[in-house]
Amino acid sequence: MKSTRRFGFTLIELLVVISIIAILIGLMSAGLNSAIANGKNAKEMNRLKQVLYAWTMYSGQYDDQLLPGFLEKPVGGPGVQEAWQLHYRKKNGDELSSALCQTYTWRLAPYLDYNIDPILGYRSDGQEKLDNSTYNPPFNPLNYPASLMPLVAAAGPAADGVGAALQPAFGYNAYYLGGWWEMVSGTPTLKFGNDRCSQDGVLTPTSPRGRIVARTIGGITKPSEIIVFSTSTFLNQRPEPYSNFNEYEAGAPWVCPDRLGIDVIWRFGGVVLEEADVASDTSLTPTDRALAYLLPVPAPRMQGDIGRLIVDQSQAVPFARHGKKVAVGSADGSCRTTGITELNDLRLWVPSAEALKFIHGP
């Protein structure tokens, strides 16, 4: 009897082999993507540590005074730097315009040896020097404070250095550390400098005033908790939630918590709940319930769709550049990543905030 020999593979065998190869490729791709993501996160954390260390060096040179968050230069008139007789220079010795130095970046640059990587290393345009860093205009013009708009509108050589001034990788906790200084009737004035504050969420005529903003290292009583820098981006006010960010979104030179005083800056999308409903609503997660009590009393609370951000006022907000975690650096020099929902706590931003319902206002 003649035996038959089979050559090649059957269809089922081919399908099995292809499936195994596809699984192996998927595992390798997941591992490669994870390795790439870890590498990017490591670079980001290293840059953040450099910026945080430079911030510490600044205070060490100025008798523990904190780096001011913002020094306004009104259009067409003298600003805070002129009033205080402050002058800042590029690495080559050329004097910088006071308009460029309103934000922290150029004032901190000497303590970074004018290295561009900690400031703009996240960008993909390969610029080599802070001096000629240019502004990357977004698709929709941003509603920056009025004193910064001339920088956005500048073109050609006049725009040199604007990228560093307006789009650094990390935003400074400018309102509550060092302070946001504005010119009021020709005098430098600290925003929130004379605000009343309350730890229980209720402001009264007898609520204590002042001490909202820390101006020295000693004024930060919880250095391991207070956020100094965070990855951030500037977003315009709009009623629809923001989503679908990418890692090359332009940075911002400051960053805001969810509230500034009694003004809500950002929140998460969903349906409106009154505060009275919070205790009785069994559908709220522990995180939602905690977030609800952060708003003034009484105040609406937005619940649901936790991953989508609604911006109520055009401002710089926390931003997760890589993955779903925001990189933050604290006053004790430590750096970590955290979910944005964990940043809805003014005790992480305001040195004088001791309770979850802390509030301040005029």
The tens digit of pLDDT for each residue in 241-279 reads 776 677 888 999 999 999 999 899 998 764 444 444 444
Token look-up 């400018």 returns: 174
What is the tens place of the pLDDT at every residue in 89-121? Answer: 998 888 999 999 999 999 999 999 999 999 999
Among 40-49, 233-242, 279-288, 324-333, the range scoring the smallest mean pLDDT is 279-288
Does a structural domain hold residue 52? yes
pLDDT at 303: 39
Does residue 6 form part of some domain?
no
More confident residue, 28 or 187: 187
Q: Is 272 within a domain?
A: no
pLDDT at 299 over 60: no
CA distance 17 to 158: 62
Whether 21 maps to a domain, the answer reads no
The mean per-residue pLDDT over the stretch 22-34 comes to: 70
Domain count within the chain: 1
Q: Does the pLDDT at position 214 exceed 90? A: yes
Q: Which domain holds residue 185?
A: 40-234+244-259+313-361
pTM: 0.81
Query: What ranges make up the beta strands (E) of 109-221?
Result: 170-172, 180-184, 187-190, 196-198
Distance of CA 351 to the CA centre of its chain: 17
More confident residue, 362 or 16: 362
User: For the chain, what is the mean pLDDT?
Assistant: 83
> Does residue 124 sit within a domain?
yes
Confidence of residue 11 (pLDDT cuts 50, 70, 90): confident
In a domain, 270, yes or no: no
The percentage of the chain sitting over the pLDDT mark of 70, rounded to a whole number, equals: 81
Give pLDDT, residue 201.
87
CA-CA distance, 80 to 181, in Å (whole number)? 7
Judge whether 69 and 254 are in contact, CB under 8 Å. yes
Is residue 358 within 8 Å of residue 62, measured between CB atoms?
Answer: no
**Is 4 inside a domain boundary?**
no
Asked whether residue 26 is assigned to any structural domain, the reply reads: no
